[in-house]
A = this chain, B = another copy of it.
Amino acid sequence: MASTFPTAPDKHTLEHGETLSPRFDANGLIAAVATNADSGEVLMFAWMNAEALGLTLATGEAHYFSRSRGELWRKGATSGQVQRVVEARIDCDQDAVWLKVLPQGDGGACHTGARSCFYRVIKDGKLVERP
């Protein structure tokens, strides 16, 4: 399992190298954003530890780390909203991952039942629900 990762030796290698060298934070986590591979909609924001990132890359299904539960979490394990990963990207300084996914099950991603976790627009300082 690719659940340990090297550290980039310098900034140039970090930003332009071909070695995956994620920079986990003090809690061992890296940010992850999932978008719908078809529509481009941002579905959710979550965290991954090294194991979650390794499992995501190895299985092609999104795994995250729940900070509130303190445990690895295979997205959809209970909800059925498994996320098939079409493409995984990492950003310039390797502290954020972008997953393009195809949501399975009912096609949703949010525990509230919404299709995306970002179901509220900030409008004149208030939150307005929008599909």
On A, residues with C-beta under 8 Å from B are: 2, 15-20, 31, 33, 35, 39-42, 44-45, 57, 87-93, 95-98, 110-112, 114, 117-122, 125-130
- Contacting A96 at CB < 8 Å: which of B2, B45, B93, B129? B45
Among B40, B88, B110, B121, the residue within 8 A (CB) of A89 is B121
Docked complex Cα distance between A21 and B92 (Å): 30
Asked whether B112 lies within 8 Å of A15 as measured between CB atoms, the reply is yes
28 intermolecular pairs with C-beta atoms under 8 Å apart? A2-B125, A15-B112, A18-B128, A20-B122, A31-B31, A31-B45, A33-B33, A33-B42, A33-B45, A35-B42, A39-B40, A40-B40, A40-B41, A42-B98, A88-B121, A88-B122, A89-B119, A89-B122, A89-B130, A90-B118, A91-B117, A91-B118, A92-B110, A92-B111, A92-B112, A93-B117, A96-B117, A97-B122
